[in-house]
Amino acid sequence: MKKVEAVVRPFKLDEVKERLWSVGVRGLTVTEVTGCGRQRGQTEFYRGAQYAVDLLPKLKLEIILHDEQVDLVIDTIREAARTGRIGDGKIFVVPVEQVIRIRTGERGPDAIHTDAVKETMARRRPSSLPRLRA
């Protein structure tokens, strides 16, 4: 299992969510964050005075997936979040050791909703790729 973390522009959230939903992602966590990178903030004017805003508002999306689903989700986020300008964001992929659903106690892959992603991948998969296990 992997966790995909994507830091994106706030105004891109609806488009990214819709696209993720269209490829079968049914669960994600969204957190308001601030940060800077190459964009290095921006200069603002307030009451005639100029000041620097070093940390810009972004949104962090977190999605837990099976390893086989990561590329589809990364491509989907990249396509939906991209504006072509500095500050579009970053995507990180990290391993997940264990997932436990609090309500039922399910552990591991059974604790994540991924049936819809598997179905979407099956429809898009070239015949040369192996089938996902249920």
Q: Kindly report the three-state secondary structure assignment for every residue of 12-80.
A: HHHHHHHHHHHCCCCCCEEEEEEECCCCCCEEEEECCEEEEECCEEEEEEEEEECHHHHHHHHHHHHHH
Whether 129 is covered by a domain: the verdict is no
Whether 133 is covered by a domain: the verdict is no
Q: Provide the pLDDT confidence category of residue 29 given band limits of 50, 70 and 90.
A: very high
Q: How large is the average pLDDT for residues 60-65? A: 96
Domains in the chain, number: 1
Range of the domain at 90: 2-124
Whether 56 is covered by a domain: the verdict is yes
Helix 115-124 × helix 70-81 angle, to 10°: 80
| Main-chain phi, psi angles of 67, to 5 degrees | -55, -40
Whether 134 is covered by a domain: the verdict is no
Whether 132 is covered by a domain: the verdict is no
pLDDT digits (tens, 9 = 90+) for 68-127: 999 999 999 999 999 999 889 999 999 999 999 999 999 998 888 756 655 665 666 554
* CATH code, 93: 3.30.70.120
Higher pLDDT, 84 or 52: 84
pLDDT of residue 31: 98
Whether 25 is covered by a domain: the verdict is yes
Q: Provide the pLDDT confidence category of residue 134 given band limits of 50, 70 and 90.
A: very low
Q: For the whole model, what pTM was predicted?
A: 0.77
Whether 130 is covered by a domain: the verdict is no
How many Å apart are CA 134 and CA 128, to the nearest integer? 19
Whether 131 is covered by a domain: the verdict is no
